[in-house]
């Protein structure tokens, strides 16, 4: 099974790194999380463990490595300035898009940790509710309610940040 997982590793590293960056808030720490997760995943399969869904398995390992670090360090990672995140996403020169992206990142950053995790797994990484529930170790209903609350909060915050458009009086 190591060969099957090994062939899938490269195709998942970019999305694992993106999720690790969202969790850790630091590129060096995110890279360390991904590296440790890959090491543990390979060790598991070498010991004879079977993996049916490599992507979900890798994200579960990544989440657990991060949770263990948070528990041992007593913190939930650092938040990085929004400008740093926007720079890594390769924004084009469109100023309105930059403003919208910064508002979205601010809104996501303000979410409770458990809501942000569900939003990232389901909306950004494309996992099914059932997969996200298994990764986080919570019931599927919890994933659904956290996602609904996260979406509602993000929409409310973005809507509140957008200034009301002023209408010109024309004679």
Length of the chain: 171
64-100: burial string, b at 16+ Cβ within 10 Å, e else: ebbeebeeeeeebbeebebeebeeeeeeeeeeeeeee
Matching fold, domains 1-79 and 81-163: no
The interaxial angle of helices 54-73 and 129-136, nearest 10 deg, is 40
List C-alpha distances in Å: 69 to 15, 32, 77, 121, 168.
Answer: 20, 11, 9, 19, 55
Q: Can you give the pLDDT of all 171 residues of the chain as single tens digits?
A: 444 566 677 888 888 888 888 888 778 888 999 999 999 988 888 888 888 888 888 988 998 898 888 777 765 545 555 555 555 555 455 676 777 778 888 888 888 989 999 998 998 888 999 999 998 999 999 999 999 999 999 888 888 876 655 556 666
Q: How far is the CA of 115 from the CAs of 1, 39, 51, 93, in angstroms?
A: 34, 28, 27, 31
pLDDT of residue 171: 63
Q: Where are the domains of the chain?
A: 1-79, 81-163
Just give the CATH number of 1-79.
1.10.1740.10
Q: Which CATH class is domain 81-163?
A: mainly alpha
**Residue 6, pLDDT score:** 64
pLDDT at 13: 87
The pLDDT value recorded for residue 35 is 92
């Amino acid at each position: 099974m190591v060969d099957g997982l090994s062939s899938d590793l490269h195709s998942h590293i970019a999305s694992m790194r993106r999720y690790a960056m969202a969790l850790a808030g630091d590129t060096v720490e995110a890279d360390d999380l991904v590296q440790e997760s890959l090491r543990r995943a390979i060790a598991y399969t070498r010991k004879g463990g079977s993996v049916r869904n490599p992507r979900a398995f890798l994200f579960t390992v990544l989440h657990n490595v991060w949770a263990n670090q948070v528990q041992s360090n007593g913190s939930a990672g650092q938040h990085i300035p929004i400008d740093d995140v926007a720079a890594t996403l390769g924004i084009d020169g469109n100023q309105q898009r930059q403003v919208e992206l910064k508002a979205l990142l601010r809104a996501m950053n303000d979410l409770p940790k458990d809501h942000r995790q569900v939003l990232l797994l389901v909306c950004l990484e494309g996992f099914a509710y059932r997969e996200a529930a298994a990764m986080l170790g919570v019931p599927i209903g919890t994933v659904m309610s956290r996602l609904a609350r996260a979406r509602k909060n993000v929409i409310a915050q973005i809507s509140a940040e957008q200034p009301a458009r002023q209408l010109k009086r024309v004679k």
